Amino acid sequence: MESSIPAHLRVERTRPKRVGDTYTPPYPSYSVRFAEGVSQLVCAFFGVQSRRPLSSGARSASAAMWELCAQDDGPISREYAVHTDEQGFDNQIIIAYWDDADAYGRWFEKHRGALIGVGLTPPDHGRWIEAFSPEARGFETLYSANTFPEGAARVAIGGYSGEIQEHGYWGSMRDRLPIAQTEALEPVGHPYAAGNSGIVRVEPHHNLAIIRSGQDWSLCEDAERASYFGDVEPQLKAGMDFLTTDGASIGCYANRYMTSSDGDGTVLEQSFGLSFWHSLEDMERWAESHPTHVAIFMAAMKFLQANAGARLRLSHEVAVVSRGQQYYEYNNCHATTGMLGASRP
């Protein structure tokens, strides 16, 4: 058993953990290990949007974005996802990870205009960029197995930890964050839009929290699939729908429930939610006490009890970021796209 926090990021705690040193979690889980020299990560989402189905211009734009990711200083990892949002627009998204913020900065400076569509006329689609670059100490991960690289694990040169202690209890998410050893991570400010037509930037605030949480059922046998889609996924979707449509009432600025894709329109047997929160505390409060998440938790426990040795693979990554570690930009997108909707009064 080891700590989720790697040795080089451990400091003397001034803020206590939720559990004592003798706590033993009820099942094994793992965190990823980045190289010690990695001080900052970058995760960027590049989206194209049009009314269903995606326009030809949107598909061409997405293909061009994919090719840009292969240029010098491009991401270590890139993947596709698709999403139909609450306004009925289709979105195709490229998710890209870097373990070198300087390389990302050079790449983005060179390609930002092409990505967001500067001079795009006539616009038959929208484009958006949502990127965040947390310090390693402001980022945590949790995986149900140490055998599949999903999300940030694709750039973790150090592989996986051994079995970690900080999971299986409310508050473990904060306990896995190295920065939370000494900081309360309280938010300061609110997001606002810079500009109201054409290309719009959303200026964020300090200590905004972001979570990506995924499911992979590609290895599940028929009985386990039936159990997952009969008991767990409906509750998960209900929770995602609540965060998408009513999350603002509890501090969730934006949420997408996405499906991984191969880029050619074929969906994979993987899904994940991505949401942006006013604070880590707001996210924790939803997880611990809101009926929608309690229902997800109870369904998951029922599933695990009924499916010994379940092959469903779960992943989770959380970042708490300063104002300068976030970038949100939208071109010709509808008013509730991502953080664009969060900037409304």
- Distance separating alpha carbons of residues 225 and 307, to the nearest angstrom: 10
Q: State the first-to-last Cα distance of the chain, in angstroms, to the nearest integer.
A: 47
- Distance separating alpha carbons of residues 31 and 269, to the nearest angstrom: 22
Concatenate the DSSP letters of all residues of 179-215 into one string: GGGT-----BS--EEE-SSSEEEEE--BTEEEEEEEE
Q: Buried (b) or exposed (e) across 267-291, using 16+ Cβ within 10 A?
A: ebebbbbbbbbbbbbbbbebbeeee
Q: Considering 205, 278, 293, 316, which one is annotated as catalytic?
A: 316
Q: What's the Cα-to-Cα distance from 111 to each of 45, 118, 132, 194, rounded to whole Å?
A: 14, 11, 17, 21
Residue 131, classed as helix, strand or coil, is: strand
Q: Tell me, yes or no, if 316 is annotated catalytic.
A: yes
β-pairing, 252-261 with 208-216? unpaired
User: Could you count the other beta carbons within 10 Å of the beta carbon of residue 301?
Assistant: 12
Burial class (CB in 10 A: 0-12, 13-18, 19+), 250: middle
In SS3 terms, 148-167 reads as CCCHHHHHCCCCECCCECCC
- Distance separating alpha carbons of residues 103 and 179, to the nearest angstrom: 24
Residue 276, classed as helix, strand or coil, is: strand
CA dihedral of 213, 215, 216, 221, whole degrees rounded to 10: 160
Q: Report, as residue numbers or ranges, the catalytic residues.
A: 316
